[in-house]
A and B are shown apart, each in its own frame.
Chain A
Amino acid sequence: MLWTDKYRPKRFEDVAGNAKQKKIIQTWVEKWKNNEPQPPLLLIGSAGTGKTTIAHIIADEFSEYIELNASDKRSHDLLMSTIGESANTYSLFGNNRKLIIMDEVDGIHGTNDRGGTKALNKIIKESKQPIVMMANDFYSNKLTTIKKNAQVIKMDKIKSPTINKYLRDVVLKNEGIEVDPEVLKKLAKRSSGDLRSSINTLQALVENGGELTEEALDSTSQKDNTSTIFDTVTRVLKSKNPEHVKRSMFENNEDPTLVMEYIAENIPREYESNKEIKKAYEMISNADLYFGRTRSSQYYGYWKYASDFMGVGVSISKKETYRKYSKVMGPMAFSLMGRTRGKRALREAIATKMEEKMHVSLLVAYTIFPYFEIMFENDEVAWEISDFLELEDDEIKFFRKKKIPKKVITKMENIKAEMREEEKEEWRNSIKEGIFREIPPQDLEKVGDEPIVEEAVVEPDAHNSTIVDIFDDFDDDELDEIAIEYSGAKSKTKLRKEDSKASKKKKDDEEKLDKGQTTLFSF
């Protein structure tokens, strides 16, 4: 059993550290019990400061509780259905409050948890039930709204003497283990205010008769053996020792292409000589080449070369280690992509419309954009093209800042309507003239003889010869309708945008279309 669970305090008095905070929380609980609703509680603090422990102690004070954490997929709907409901329900028995616990609320993820933060804020505002939330990062912008509507409790890191005392008087005493007090002090210090990790380290070292020595402690290094991406980047840029660099690359568990992006980003931020930048980037280029070759050949043996190019290769590209502190930056290209996501989605939506209506690929469509920008300066041309591509307002705004003036829209719509009228006239005439005579009857019969697969083409007994006469029975309005239906239907023939799931719908559409035709024949 994990000691962290075994020795998790059950009462507020037993929780280590954060004395002031504990008092506030206790008052919060008492008030709820006296039927005085309180704002939700938001516990913010780094790992191992007692947030989860306190949440569970609070939970014991209430008759019921539900819990969610970041690993749950908290989409809007999910949050509303599981929590939203209980947040608004009064229990029949006045005092039986249902506590809601939410861990890692700053971990609600933008895309995966679509609307999650929004739903959460709504619940916080409307809830009639006690809520306890936990978060790690005080400055996370996901917390801005939550913070306004909650009682914020900032949990301090546990001081090392407190950790030391807890390990000695609670854990070791109970386990009946004696250790070197000096080494224990060190362990407490190294855990940098994280009580949970200190207990885990202790358990790993001394359980089953192990001895707590300084060497053993050193071997566990810090919390674990993996180096963060920032450690690795710093090592590559600062060190000139291939052994250290290789080890750091090896200990890093991140996606190596991401590590490469980080290193590349920071090369010109650390190296000052252009000669060094040039050489280092050549190494990056080679690393990337081998990542590409890995992808195309699916031979992962190439990775090790890539790792050496971007690790040792970049590290030896400098003449001397720079004696300065430079902050390691995340890849700017990624943040640029994030910032411009909306704009890029818009761009792609427009290009997709061009793809359909102008028979061009997306790549070709983008090459036309600069010309559209020029054309869109002209109100009428802007309207023409927008109308042709069926652009939405925000898509029009992509090419021009100003809206198309109402006057121009009205004018152009009138011109278009006139054109349509002329077309319809021609269409009516062409029907009356009998363009359907062009289909020889025997052709239709031939299709009819074959077993018809999926598509109803023409009724075998279609009265082909009389089709034209039949149109004489329709008045102009009805012919208009037929004309419009036919012209509207034709743009649906393209099948480009379906994935396999949607393809059934497409088939249906197509069938409808073909039936539409059948109607034309079999009046």
Chain B
Amino acid sequence: MIISDNMLGPWVEKYRPQTLDDVVGQEHIVSRLKQYVEEGSMPNLMFTGPAGVGKTTSALALVKGILGEYWRQNFLELNASDARGIETVRTNIKNFCRLKPVGAPFRIIFLDEVDNMTKDAQHALRREMEMYTKTASFILSCNYSSKIIDPIQSRCAIFRFTPIKAEEIENRLKYIAEEEHCQYEDEAITTIVKFAEGDMRKSVNMLQSAASTGSITEDHVFEVVSKAKPQEIKNMVNAALMGDFMKSRDILREVMILQGTSGEDMVNQIYQEVSSRVMAGNMDGEIYMNLIGAIAETDFRIREGANPRIQLEALLAKFL
């Protein structure tokens, strides 16, 4: 299958490794996955790890390797945290598994973001997994395996993906830049790697952003970093600490409602912001720990199922 849509477009897709051999990092995982390809069979798998470290890429490469030429017909990719609910997910799985594999020994279902499913939905998923063991294998992907119920974990071979090493990201970025005939400064690449924290998707997006402003220089990378990380969170925390609750609350609503930032992301960014203050020597230890206590409790409550916006508004009130 040579015809490819990937000749132009976002580099994250264009340079997504197509085979297990090309996957960057995660050597021990990749070598095990290759064995599955050789054997022509695989158990149910669970890929866990932070964003942008190759979970989806490895899954796609494995699927292509193991299903061969007709992988598209025998592969279903679903988002488990589909806004339309677990029933939609289950219906899709059911419809897909009812059909016999075509030109391949079995079918594979890739379920992304399983950790965002409720416990009930996970139990339902477990039943699906059992029902179709003969015809289909599952690859589940999540950020935190701790949020997955035990019965599912025990039915999967679990692979823990780790952040990709700086050197490996660096090499990949240089390779892409060369393929694209883009000039680059070594410092620019180093800076990207530093800010990306082992996240390949973020790195490549930063690279393409910098390149699209003209050339991949360190200055352009800094520009990208500051543009991509808007000042709103900083302003919001500032306003709250200065005692202007209404202003702070307005910013919070803007960011959450207009930009669609999730509650979990907000908590994280607030944590980063507060923590950067103490790191810069701008905050008293005692005050800091009070805030951290409040942030931690907010994080917990949101994950427990409270309304993220209300909880975050209350968190900002604690900053007053």
Q: Which residues of A contact B (CB under 8 A)?
A: 257, 260-261, 264, 268, 274-275, 277-278, 280-282, 284-285, 288-289, 291-293, 295-296, 332-333, 336-337, 340, 343-344, 347-348, 351, 355, 357-364, 366-371, 373-375, 377-378, 381, 384-385, 387-389, 412, 415-416, 419, 423-424, 426-427, 430, 438-439, 443, 447, 450, 452-455, 457, 483, 486-487, 490-491, 493-496, 498-500, 503, 506-507, 510, 513-514, 517
Contact = CB atoms under 8 A, between A and B. Distances in A.
A343 B209 CA distance: 24
Contacts of A282: 314, 317-318
25 contacts: A274-B245, A277-B245, A282-B317, A288-B311, A288-B314, A347-B260, A357-B13, A359-B56, A361-B112, A364-B201, A367-B265, A368-B201, A369-B259, A370-B228, A371-B205, A375-B209, A378-B212, A384-B10, A389-B9, A439-B69, A455-B100, A494-B77, A495-B76, A503-B92, A514-B102
B310 A423 contact: no
A24 B142 CA distance: 71
Nearest to A288: B310
A416 B4 CA distance: 12
Contacts of A368: 10, 12, 201, 205
B307 A385 contact: no
Nearest to B264: A363
Contacts of A369: 259
Contacts of A506: 95
B318 A374 contact: no
Interface in B1-19: 1-5, 7-10, 12-13, 16
A454 B73 CA distance: 14
B75 A493 contact: yes
Interface stretch (B28-36, B83-91, B122-130): B83-91
Given A344-B257, A361-B113, A285 B301 contact: yes
Contacts of B113: 361, 363
B238 interface: no
**Across chains A and B, which 9 residue pairs bring their CB atoms closest together, nearest first?**
A388-B9, A285-B314, A281-B317, A292-B306, A378-B212, A370-B228, A274-B320, A371-B205, A374-B209
A24 to B, nearest CB: 47
Contacts of B259: 366, 369
A257 B306 CA distance: 11
Interface of B: 1-5, 7-10, 12-13, 16, 51, 56, 60, 69, 72-73, 75-79, 81-84, 87-88, 91-92, 95-96, 98-100, 102-103, 112-113, 118, 201, 205-206, 208-209, 212-213, 224, 227-230, 243, 245-246, 249-250, 253-254, 257-262, 265, 301, 304-307, 309-311, 313-315, 317-318, 320
Given A373-B227, A455-B102, A493 B72 contact: yes
Given A289-B306, A358-B12, A377-B212, A457 B103 contact: yes
A423 B257 contact: no
A293 B301 CA distance: 10
A450 B101 CA distance: 12
A498 B10 CA distance: 26
A387 B5 CA distance: 10
Contacts of A483: 3
A454 B230 CA distance: 52
Among B56, B87, B306, B318, the most chain A Cβ lie within 10 Å of the Cβ of: B306
Contacts of B112: 359, 361
Contacts of A503: 91-92, 95
A145 to B, nearest CB: 30
Nearest to A388: B9
A336 B257 contact: yes
Contact of A291 (B12, B84, B306): B306
Given A285-B311, A362-B83, A378-B212, A495 B5 contact: no
A416 B8 contact: yes
Contacts of A347: 260
Given A344-B257, A454-B98, A495-B76, A277 B228 contact: no
Given A275-B320, A292-B301, A388-B5, 6 more contacts: A285-B306, A332-B250, A332-B253, A359-B112, A454-B100, A493-B72
Contacts, number: 224
B228 to A, nearest CB: 4
Contact of A454 (B77, B99, B249): B99
A513 B102 CA distance: 12
Nearest to B210: A374
Nearest to B92: A495
B282 to A, nearest CB: 20
Contacts of B95: 495, 503, 506-507
Given A344-B258, A507-B95, A355 B79 contact: yes
Contacts of B100: 450, 452-455, 457
Among B72, B99, B258, B307, the most chain A Cβ lie within 10 Å of the Cβ of: B307
B45 to A, nearest CB: 16
Contacts of A291: 306-307
Given A274-B245, A361-B112, A368-B205, A377 B92 contact: no
Contacts of B227: 370, 373-374
Given A292-B301, A359-B56, A455-B99, A378 B213 contact: yes
Contact of B91 (A289, A332, A499): A499
Nearest to A452: B100
Nearest to B13: A358
A500 B13 contact: no
B294 to A, nearest CB: 10
B138 to A, nearest CB: 15
B7 A364 contact: no
A271 to B, nearest CB: 10
A371 B301 contact: no
Contacts of A423: 2-4, 7
Contacts of B311: 285, 288-289
Contact of B310 (A264, A336, A375): A264
Contact of B3 (A281, A387, A427): A427
B264 to A, nearest CB: 9
A333 B256 CA distance: 10
A520 to B, nearest CB: 12
B213 A377 contact: yes
B9 A374 contact: no
Contacts of B250: 332
Contacts of B103: 439, 443, 447, 457
